[in-house]
Amino acid sequence: MSVIQELHRQLVRKERSATEITQAYLDRIAAVEPTLHSFLTVTGDRALAQAAEVDQRLAAGEEIGLLTGIPLAIKDNLCTYGVRTTCASKMLEHFVPPYESTVTQKLQAAGAIMVGKTNLDEFAMGSSTENSAFGFTANPWNPERVSGGSSGGSAAAVAAGECAAALGSDTGGSIRQPAAFCGVVGLKPTYGLVSRYGLVAYASSLDQVGPLAPTVTDAAILLGAIAGHDPKDATSLSVSIPDYTQALKPDLKGMRIGVIQETVGEGLQPEVKSALEAALKTLEALGATIVELSCPRFAYGLPTYYIIAPSEASANLARYDGVNFGFRAEGASDLLEMYMKTRAQGFGAEVKRRIMIGTYALSAGYYDAYYLRAQKVRTLIKEDFAQAFAQADVLVCPTAPTTAFKAGEKTADPLSMYLSDLMTIPVNLAGLPGLSLPCGFDREGLPIGLQLIGNVLGEETLFHVAYAYEQATPWHQQQPQL
C-alpha cells in the first residue's frame, strides 16, 4: 500500500486524526532539518489549522478524498497566496504572492495539507541545489552528498519522510535527477498536461510541474490531482484526465521496452550500468520484450538545451529590475545604476551566467547561429523519439550517469555539473513524459535511478511499467537511516 493510501486508511478508520498525522510530520521536519535543510519555509501553524478542519469534517461523518488531510511539501517556485515564495533567490527573499498557483489551488481543493516550501537551485537553475541563496540541501542517504537539483529540497523531504509526497518542477531533469539521487519516484509529465500558472518561469517552453513521491502509486495519485486543462495557461492541453491508478498492473506481457543505445556507452558509473542491466532482466522476466534502438541525436540535447533554456531565462528574468517587486539595491544615483546594482546583488552566479549566455544567443548577430539552430536540432531530437516509439512502447535509460556526487565537487566546473542532466534533457526538449524510480544502490549505499520515457500523453504506460518493476524489486522499501 502506498504512503498516501495508508494515511487515508488511518484517517477513515479513525486510527489517527489529521492533526496527529500532521504533527508527526512537523516533528520529523524539526528533527532532521538541521542536517538536511530541505525547507525554506515551514508552515506549521497553517498546516495544523488545515488538519483541524479535516478532523471536524471527519467528526461530522463526511466522506473524504484520497488527498484530504495528507501532508505535502511544495517547491518554492510555485506561488502560494500569503506564503513567502522565494525561488531560493535573494531577488525574491521577501516576496509574498497575491495569488495561488493552479496546482497548489487544486491540492487545497482536494483537502491536502501544505507543511512547507522546499529548497531549490536559484530560479530552478542547477543540478545540485547548491545554487540556492539560502544554503544547500543535503542528501538523506549521505549528508555529504548533494540531493540533486533543482528540486533537491522536495526530493530530500520525501526520502527523509518529512512529507507524504511533494511537488517539483522539471525544465531539464529537475524532478527526475534529484528523485534518482534521493531514491524516490519522480515524474515529469507531458508538456502542457499540468498547468504552469503560478510557477515562476525559468524556460517557458520546457518547464513542467510534477510529483515526487515514495512510490509509483503515490506519484499516480498526485498527478491525477494536479493534471488537467487550465484556461489561465495558454500552453495547457485540453485532454481528459484518466484515473492513473487504474494503470498500475503487475505484469508486462506484450510490452515493448526500448533501450536507448546512446545512453549506455562511456561515462556511465559502472554500478549505474550494472543496475540498468539488472533492471532490464527484471522487466524481461515480467513479460516485456527488450528492444535495442538508437536515438542518434540524443547527445545533442545538452548543447541545444543550454542555448534554448538560457535564452528563455534571459527574457523571463528581465522583469526582476527592482521596480515592481522583489529586491531593490540601495544607493543608486539614477535608474540605470539601480537596475545594474539590483541585478548584480540580487542574482547568484549561476543565474547571471545563464542570463548572459541567453542574452548573447539572442543578440542580433548570433540569433541565427545559436538560437535558431538550436530550435532546428530540437526538432531533430523529437523526430528521433518519434522513430523510437514506432519500435517500442516505453524507452529506458539511466536517469543520471552517476549517483549523487559530493557537495562542492562540481561547483567550480559548470560543464561537469551540466553533464549530470545528460539523460533527462532530451525528454524536455521533445515535451515527453519521463519517470525516474529507484533501481539499486552503488557500493557507497547511494540510490541509482532508472528513467522510463513515454510517448506524448503516455503517462498511463509509464505508470504501468514503473509499478510492475517496483512491485518485483525491493528498492522502494529501503529508507535512509538519518
Return the pLDDT at 324.
87
Half-sphere exposure of 450 (CA within 13 A, CB side): 31
- 264-306 pLDDT, tens digit per residue, is 988 899 999 999 999 999 999 999 999 999 999 999 999 999 9
**Residue 238 catalytic?**
no
Return the pLDDT at 171.
98
In one-letter notation, the amino acid at residue 211 is P
Return the pLDDT at 272.
98
Return the pLDDT at 437.
98
Find where cell 534521493 sits.
Answer: 182
Q: Is the pLDDT of residue 14 over 90?
A: yes
Closest CA to 272 of 105, 479, 97, 423: 423
Cell output for 481 = 537511516
pLDDT-derived band at 473 (thresholds 50, 70, 90) equals: very high
Return the pLDDT at 1.
85
Q: Which residues pair with 72 in a beta bridge?
A: 114, 165
Q: How far apart are CA 362 and CA 383, in angstroms?
A: 25
What CA–CA distances, in Å, run from 433 to 116, 182, 191, 223, 457?
A: 27, 20, 7, 12, 7
Q: Where are the alpha helices (DSSP H) in 300-413?
A: 301-316, 335-346, 349-362, 373-388
pLDDT-derived band at 454 (thresholds 50, 70, 90) equals: very high
333: Cα separation from own chain's centroid: 42
Closest CA to 74 of 29, 40, 49: 40
**Residue 174 catalytic?**
yes
- The answer to whether the CB of 75 falls within 8 A of the CB of 163 is no
Half-sphere exposure of 158 (CA within 13 A, CB side): 35
Taken in order of first residue, the domains within the chain and their CATH numbers are 3-255+392-477 (3.90.1300.10)
Q: How far apart are CA 144 and CA 147, in angstroms?
A: 10
pLDDT-derived band at 414 (thresholds 50, 70, 90) equals: confident
**Residues above pLDDT 90, as percent of the chain:** 97
- The answer to whether the CB of 434 falls within 8 A of the CB of 177 is no
Return the pLDDT at 55.
98
In one-letter notation, the amino acid at residue 164 is A
**Residue 281 catalytic?**
no
Half-sphere exposure of 317 (CA within 13 A, CB side): 31
- 147-176 pLDDT, tens digit per residue, is 999 999 999 999 999 999 999 999 999 999
- 34-68 pLDDT, tens digit per residue, is 999 999 999 999 999 999 999 999 999 999 999 99
**Pairing outcome for strands 71-75 and 39-42:** unpaired
Catalytic residue among 17, 75, 106, 117: 75
Q: How far apart are CA 136 and CA 128, in angstroms?
A: 8
Return the pLDDT at 265.
84
pLDDT-derived band at 383 (thresholds 50, 70, 90) equals: very high
- 313-345 pLDDT, tens digit per residue, is 999 999 999 998 899 999 999 999 999 999 999
Report the chain's C-alpha Rg in angstroms.
21
Longest dimension (CA), the chain: 71
Return the pLDDT at 286.
98
More confident residue, 112 or 416: 112
The stretch 347-375 carries a mean pLDDT of 95
Q: 146 — phi, psi (to 5°)?
A: -80, 160
Confidence (pTM): 0.97
- The answer to whether the CB of 482 falls within 8 A of the CB of 269 is no
Closest CA to 431 of 386, 474, 397: 386
Q: Which residues pair with 170 in a beta bridge?
A: 208
Catalytic residue among 38, 151, 174, 195: 174
- 435-448 pLDDT, tens digit per residue, is 999 999 999 999 99
Closest CA to 354 of 293, 292, 418: 418
- In the sheet that 434-441 helps form, which strands lie side by side, from edge to edge? 39-42, 113-118, 71-75, 165-170, 208-213, 185-188, 434-441, 447-453, 394-398, 256-260, 289-293
Return the pLDDT at 406.
97
What CA–CA distances, in Å, run from 218 to 43, 64, 153?
A: 22, 17, 18
Q: Is the pLDDT of residue 239 over 90?
A: yes
Closest CA to 41 of 138, 145, 159, 120: 120
More confident residue, 1 or 33: 33
Three-class DSSP category at 54: helix
The H-or-E segment that residue 467 falls in is helix 459-472
Q: Which residues pair with 259 in a beta bridge?
A: 292, 396
Q: How far apart are CA 134 and CA 32, in angstroms?
A: 17
Cell output for 315 = 527574457
